[in-house]
Chains A and B, each alone.
Chain A
Amino acid sequence: MLSINITKKLYGAKGEMDLKINLSIKQGEFVALAGESGSGKTTLLRILAGLEEAKGKIVFEDRVWQDSASFLETQKREIGFVFQDYALFDNMSVEQNLLFVNNDKLLAKELLEITELDSLKDRFPKTLSGGQKQRVSLCRALMNRPKLLLMDEPLSALDPMMRNKLQNEILILHKRFETTIIMVSHDPSEIYRLASRVIVLDIGTVITDGTVKETLLQTSGSQKFAFEGEILEIIKVDVIYVAIVAIGQQLVEVVIAKEEANHLIVGQKIKVGTKSFSPRIV
């Protein structure tokens, strides 16, 4: 059980704000931490890791990590941390990166096999691809068998194929080590596949906290499909208007009426929804 009750003043891009978090996370839970950039997600992870100070109390499995009187230093928290930029030790080979944390050759071998890195164990970080580096970083974070693993957007720099593969590996490792995991992620499909609970932060406070299903499968209104998008252009075609809308990575054309065209503007964030129809999955 991890219980967090902290406050910290942050000076971000949006000016001054208060990070105020009051949460408890069960042993073995896989929590996804979402929210816009600058909402305090990374800072929360860093406070949990003891890399930044905050006011308040953090208790992990009956051990006080910090309260008004004490502060347990990072070295003694026995956690794992996966950085967004991997942060591998450039002067050490893949295997040495793992063994530096904990000189357990059997565990290193097992982790490298799960992540299919065993053939690269003598390579140095500078010669690896992004996906390979991220796997090394993940393995390294698990080398001292942490009870709590913190991951800061671990897969955001990778292409979709590699993401998929690594998501599976994270799931396998989560089951194998029964670690409590807190992962910052923006990708709903990633959160759905990996996490059991989603916490959304906005300007330093928790605005949503629930299971993945109730949080992500939002069906306000009766529409079956609804996508957030941004209008890129509105074109007049004969008597109708067509809006070019960017939804995620895809651009779509949506037919709109003249009245609609009059009050929509380019750059506006909109929601495109559709009601009764049965889509084909190809």
Chain B
Amino acid sequence: MLETLQNLDLTPFLLSFKLAGLTTIILFIISLPLAWYLSQSQSKIKPLIEALTALPIVLPPSVLGFYILIVFSQIDLNFSFVGLVIASCFYSLPFMVQPLQGGFESLNKNMLEASYIAGKSQFITLFRVALPNIKPALLTALIITFAHTVGEFGVVLMIGGSIPDETKVASIAIYEMVEIMDYQTAHIYAGLMVLISFVVLLSVYIFNHSNKRIGGIH
């Protein structure tokens, strides 16, 4: 057992976290203006954009993976880390957009208007007024996106394959361990995943709960 632990290859975990970290950063930059637009817009095309954004929640990862695979084969991105990051961005998009949009929609409309009346642009209002007042939603969006990307399996399997140090993330590694019947390593990997995921979720809920109790963020 001790020997197994010592020889444990943690690269799949590091790769998972690198993938999740990059995906979260990229998605935050993309989703912030998108979520802001969706929360403020009354446009007729808004439901269309909302439906498109939510699509990855209901589609089987294999469907999403299949289409990405076809597109990526044209531009030679399959089975590469970059391809994995791009695919993850599609896959986790709703998990970033929806909490942010919900947060913005829950803001007092008059508060945003007070900022416009003060002569401030939408950009300043977004960063100085809106974003600081939705901290719990912001944290939820970041953490859930990160955690969801770590937990990704189907899409990664279809377009990433299992290239060590490149596309073999933790969830794929566990699958492989089971396949070659190395249950001991699979146990350790799986246990680690459960532990990390639980701690992450627990800290989000504790933060949001304590925010509600003190009645706001100061």
Are B114 and A81 in contact, CB atoms less than 8 angstroms apart? yes
Is A79 touching B117 in the complex (CB atoms < 8 A)? yes
Contact digits for A69-105, partner B, Cβ 8 Å, 1 yes 0 no: 0000111111111010101111100000000111000
> How many Å from the CB of A175 to the closest CB on chain B?
23
Residue of A nearest to B132 (CB): A91
Q: How far is the CB of A99 from chain B (nearest CB, A)?
A: 11
- Evaluate contact between B119 and A75: CB separation under 8 angstroms: yes
Besides the known contacts A87-B110, A89-B111, 9 further A-B residue pairs in the complex with CB atoms under 8 A apart: A75-B120, A76-B119, A81-B113, A85-B108, A87-B111, A90-B133, A90-B217, A100-B115, A144-B118
Verify A78–B215 contact, CB threshold 8 A: no
In the bound complex, residues from chain A placing their C-beta under 8 Å from that of B111 are 87-90
Which chain B residues have a beta carbon within 8 Å of chain A's beta carbons? Answer: 108, 110-111, 113-121, 128-129, 132-133, 215-218
The residues of A that contact B116 with a CB separation of less than 8 Å are 51, 73-75
- For B114, give its contact among A76, A126, A140 (CB under 8 Å): A140
List A residues at the B interface (Cβ < 8 Å): 49, 51, 73-81, 83, 85, 87-91, 100-102, 124, 126, 140-141, 143-144
User: Which of B132, B217, B218: most chain A Cβ within 10 A?
Assistant: B218
Q: Are A124 and B216 in contact (CB under 8 A)?
A: yes
Q: Which residue of B lies closest to A86 (CB)?
A: B110
**B interface, by DSSP: helix, strand, loop or mixed?**
helix
| A89–B115 CB distance below 8 A | yes
Q: Please name all residues of chain B whose beta carbon is closer than 8 Å to the beta carbon of A126 when the two chains form the complex.
A: 215-216, 218
CA A123 – CA B32 in complex, angstroms?
A: 30
Question: In the complex, what distance in Å separates the CA atom of A74 from the CA atom of B217?
Answer: 28
- Beta-carbon nearest neighbor of A87 in chain B: B110
Task: Report yes or no: A81 in contact with B117, Cβ–Cβ below 8 A.
Answer: yes
Query: Which residue from chain B places its CB closest to the CB of A123 in the assembled complex?
Result: B218
Complex CA–CA separation, A74 to B118 (angstroms) = 9
Q: Are B118 and A101 in contact (CB under 8 A)?
A: yes
Q: Are A89 and B215 in contact (CB under 8 A)?
A: no
Measured CB to CB, the nearest residue on chain B to A146 is: B117
CA distance in complex: A251, B110 (Å): 37
Most A-side CB within 10 Å, residue of B113, B118, B119, B120:
B118
Complex alpha-carbon distance, A279 and B4, angstroms: 99
Whether the pair B119, A83 counts as a contact (CB closer than 8 A) is no
Nearest A residue to B215 via CB reads A126
Residues in A neighbouring B133, C-beta threshold 8 A: 89-91
A138 to B217: give the CA distance in the assembly, Å. Answer: 23
**In contact, B129 and A74 (Cβ under 8 angstroms):** no
B132 x A87 contact (CB < 8 A): no
Separation of A49 and B113 alpha carbons in the complex (Å) = 10
On whether the beta carbons of B216 and A90 are closer than 8 Å, the reply is yes
Asked if B118 and A143 sit within 8 Å, CB to CB, the answer is: yes
A91 to B114, CA, bound (A): 14
In the bound complex, CA of A126 to CA of B217 (Å): 9
Shortest CB distance B31–A (Å):
21
With A91-B129, A124-B216 already in contact, the answer to whether A49 and B117 are too (CB < 8 A) is: yes
A140 to B115, CA, bound (A): 10
The 4 closest A-B pairs by CB, nearest first: A87-B110, A91-B132, A101-B118, A126-B216
A207 CA / B79 CA spacing, docked (Å): 74
The contact sample of 6 A-B pairs, CB cut-off 8 A, is A49-B113, A74-B113, A79-B117, A85-B110, A87-B110, A100-B115
